Amino acid sequence: MLLNKKALLATIPSDSHSWNLVFMEFFLEENGYDVSNLGPNTPLHDIEKALHTGYYDMVVISSTNGHAYIEAQELAKRIRASATHNGQLFLGGKICTQTDPEIIAHHTAALKDCGFDEVFDDSVMNSFDRFQLLLTPPASMPVQPVSAMHRASA
Amino acid sequence: MLDFNKHVLESAAEYGPVVQPRMGFSDPQLMSQGLQATAQANANSVCTITLDAFTRVNNFQAAGRSIEQGAALNGYPIVNHPPAVTRRMLQDIEQTRNLPVQIRHGSPDPTQIFKRMGEVGVSATEGGPVSYCLPYSRVPLEKALADWAVASRSLSTSSPHSHVESFAGCMMGQMCDPVTLIALNILEGLFLQDHGVSTVSFSYAQGISPVQDLAAATALKHLAADFFEQGKHHLVLYVFMGFFPKSLDGFRRISTDALRVAKQAGVQRIILKTPVESKRIPTIRENVASMEFAAQILRHPQTGSGLPFDRDEYRRILSQASTLIDQVLQLDPDLSQALLMAFASGLLSIPYCLHPDNKRTARVTLTKDNYYLSHANEELDCSYSFLKNLRRNIDTYDLTVTA
Ligand code: B12
């Protein structure tokens, strides 16, 4: 398969969850991305360094520990301020410790103000399908029916 | 200060397995209410303070800022809150309820946490140099071993009852052959003992098959008895630590399976989950409900019998884990060195663990009996099949109709 686009995959410094990163790596590769997975507890500095030394079409931050609403703000600000990355910047997972849609909307707006193009909290239904639409897979690749795996429990 | 290990052994012998939540809130008042509610639950419970993720990575500045701004953290920032506040809530529980508290943290360098534990008068905690490094951080294993050696020593000098529960039975939470988890438990136990910790506990997290789990927990019990003095250790079973079922019924059924394994294997302590595990941190009431639910299931006579004992699987786990332990111990007389060499050569390896010191030589597959089994370098090909394996318990417990 021709991997003609590059994605940088990382999380926030306090988050040690990694199954989300393993999954995302598979997922982005299938959608035609060459993925650099920086692994759990990513120091901000490592993200900055990667963006300084290489070009990425997209940066994906995946976090589930509930601290993204705090730490990802600074992360986005620093990425945007350094002007080393003008491409897409996404955040997904569980962005805070609440599931109240209003609180999530509030944090989402704040995170977008700091520089994220989109924020996909997994307590918002179908955020994954919205994300997948943004990936524009190469025509040769059938789109994996990811939403089917996220079906509501019986 | 109460002796955590003694309490668990005695009360489990009298009332059956002790149940424990994974509870932690940033606000001291809420934390204190949580401890009281746990103590008063209609269950044989012990209390937990789970620390937040900033404290886990020693980012006390960020924890402090969040406290100032009233931002909710995912646990209790024990190093930032005044020692007197924490001491008071612990004393309340110990003195009025006669119950010990365990500090749960997930830190590859727990020096500051253990120091604070000494100051506030609590001596039971969990983790280990491998199990709190590989799945929890990107800190070099060599550094985690050195830091845990120092921290364990300081914990043991601050109290005659220092207790550490090895987290090795969980590691990534799922998708690992029990052989690896059990060997690591014993190796971490030996490390902790070498560095002065008085008593230890050994963990095992529920997998995909209660039959394999019963074989594995029994093998762990027997190996622990071979290596450690009676009365100085106990066993802990975790309700499934991986990608968790989403429905109430899924919670009920998966927890019931774990409780059956615990009771039939003779495990003394059980770490519980709640019905909101897949979504968010549970409230105090949800935690209490889950403890009382577990107590009720444990009291049911059927819980204590009925799972078949797979003798072949038990023998496989016991013999392979013993061999692995011996192979590691033979690498070097210094256990830290031996562990480093074992991970460097890939003798010890954790499937799917992204840590730079984990060679990723091991892969795991599910057998037709739903057992986890190691396979060298097996490929799981795409996000779909990967997620399908990861979701196995969601599919089993949420989607299958109860017979
Ligand atoms: C396994 C697990 C762990 C393991 C992690 C092992 C590892 N190395 O990965 C261990 C035990 C170490 C762990 C530790 C902790 N955990 Co944990 N953990 C889980 C658990 C059970 C499963 C996570 C998992 O493996 N998911 C599988 C992956 C594939 O799915 P996912 O992460 O949900 O991601 C999906 C979507 O979010 C989405 N997605 C993810 N990223 C992105 C990005 C984009 C752009 C898009 C579009 C989509 C997307 O795609 C994925 C596939 O569907 C969850 C609860 C659950 N969900 O069942 C709790 C959970 C995530 N943990 C939680 C917490 C709080 C912790 C701890 C603080 C301890 C504690 N108090 O319980 C520590 C944190 C340590 C730290 N420093 O960060 C909370 C988070 C709560 C919150 N956000 O408010 C949860 C929800 C449990 C709970 N109910 O309390 N944990």
> In chain B, pLDDT over 90 holds for what percent of residues?
91
Would you place residue B389 in the very low, low, confident or very high pLDDT band (cuts 50, 70, 90)?
confident
Structure tokens at A113: 């103000």
Q: What is the mean pLDDT of residues B128-151?
A: 97
State the pLDDT at residue A1.
54
Least confidently predicted of B60-64, B68-72, B361-365: B361-365
Nearest CB to A40; choose among B138, B243, B387 = B138
Note whether A41 contacts B137, CB cutoff 8 Å: yes
> B19, B18, B49: which is closest to B35 by C-alpha?
B49
Average pLDDT value for residue range A5-23: 96
Higher pLDDT, A145 or A91: A91
Per-residue pLDDT averaged across B75-94, rounded? 97
Considering only CB atoms, which chain B residues are within 8 Å of A21? 354
- Whether residue B56 and residue A13 make contact (CB cut-off 8 A), yes or no, is no
Ligand 1 site: residues with CB under 6 angstroms? A 14-20, 23-24, 60, 62, 64-66, 90, 92-94, 97, 120, 122, 127-128, 131; B 22, 24, 50, 53, 56, 74-75, 106, 135-136, 170, 172-173, 241-244, 277-278, 280-281, 390
**Residue B8 scores a pLDDT above 60:** yes
| Contact status, residue B256 vs residue B290, Cβ threshold 8 Å | no
Confidence of residue B382 (pLDDT cuts 50, 70, 90): confident
Distance B211 CA to ligand 1 centre (A): 26
Please check the confidence at residue B27 and state whether its pLDDT lies above 80.
Answer: yes
* Subunit contact B384:A149, Cβ cutoff 8 A: yes
Task: Give the per-residue pLDDT at A153.
Answer: 36
Q: Which of A21, A23, A97 sits opposite B280 (nearest CB)?
A: A97
Question: What is the per-residue pLDDT for A125?
Answer: 74
Residue of B22, B277, B394 to mutate, ligand 1, most atoms within 8 A of C-beta? B277
What's the Rg (C-alpha) of chain B? 20
DSSP B366: E
State residue B168's pLDDT score.
98
User: What is residue A154's predicted lDDT score, i.e. its pLDDT?
Assistant: 30
Place B363 in a pLDDT band, splitting at 50, 70 and 90. confident
Which residues, numbered 67 to 106 in chain B, qualify as contacts with chain A under a Cβ-Cβ cut-off of 8 Å? 71-74, 106
| pTM greater than 0.90 (yes/no) | yes
Chain A hits for B390, CB-CB cut-off 8 Å, are: 19, 23
Q: Please judge whether B354 and A153 are an interchain contact, meaning their C-beta atoms are less than 8 angstroms apart.
A: no
Please give, rounded to a whole number of angstroms, the shortest distance from the CA of A145 to a CA of chain B.
Answer: 8
The confidence score (pLDDT) of residue B56 equals 97
Name A52's Cβ contacts closer than 8 Å, sequence gap at least 6.
Answer: A82, A84
Interval B175-202: pLDDT, tens: 999 999 999 999 999 999 999 999 999 9
- Indicate whether B26 pLDDT > 70: yes
Q: Is B104 helix (H, G, I), strand (E, B) or coil?
A: strand
pLDDT at A76: 97
- For the cut 70, the answer to whether the pLDDT of residue A149 exceeds it is no
Q: Which residue has the higher pLDDT, A136 or B171?
A: B171
On average, the pLDDT of chain B sits at 95
Query: What pLDDT score was predicted for residue A152?
Result: 36
Ligand 1 geometric centre to CA of B133 (Å): 17
Q: What is the DSSP string of B158-220?
A: H-TT-EEEE-TTTTTSSS--HHHHHHHHHHHHHHHHHTT-SEEEEEEE--S-HHHHHHHHHHH
Position B383 scores a pLDDT of 81
Residues of B in contact with A98 (CB under 8 A): 72, 280
Taking only the tens place, the pLDDT of each residue in B198-236 is 999 999 999 999 999 999 999 999 999 999 999 999 999
Q: What is the pLDDT of residues A51-92, one digit of tens each?
A: 999 999 999 999 999 999 999 999 999 999 988 898 999 999
pLDDT at B334 exceeding the cut of 50: yes
**CB contact at 8 A, B110 and A104:** no
Cα–Cα distance between B307 and B303 in angstroms, integer?
A: 9
Pairing of strands B18-20, B163-166: unpaired
What pLDDT was estimated at residue B366? 82
- Pocket probe mutation, ligand 1, options B74, B255, B386, max atoms within 8 Å of Cβ: B74
Contacts of B53 in chain A (CB under 8 A): 14-16, 65-67
Examine the pLDDT at B270 and tell me if it is beyond 90.
yes
Mean confidence (pLDDT) of chain A: 88
Mean pLDDT, residues B246-252 taken together: 95
Q: Mean of the pLDDT values across residues A93-116? A: 96
Please give the average per-residue pLDDT across B101-130, as a whole number: 98
3-class SS string, chain A: CCCCEEEEEECCCCCCCCHHHHHHHHHHHHCCEEEEECCCCCCHHHHHHHHHHCCCCEEEEEECCCCHHHHHHHHHHHHHHHCCCCCEEEEEECCCCCCCHHHHHHHHHHHHHCCCCEEEECCCCCHHHHHHHHHCCCCCCCCCCHHHHCCCCC
pLDDT, residue B402, reads 54
Contact A98 B62 (CB under 8 A): no
Asked if residue B302 has pLDDT above 60, the reply is yes
Residue nearest to atom 6 of ligand 1 (CA): B172
Task: Give the atom of ligand 1 at the shortest distance from the alpha carbon of A21.
Answer: 41
Are B391 and A149 within 8 A, CB to CB?
A: yes
pLDDT above 70 (res B381): no
> How many Cβ atoms are within 10 Å of A139's Cβ, its own excluded?
6
Cβ B192 vs Cβ B164: under 8 Å: yes
* Residue B81 confidence (pLDDT) above 60: yes
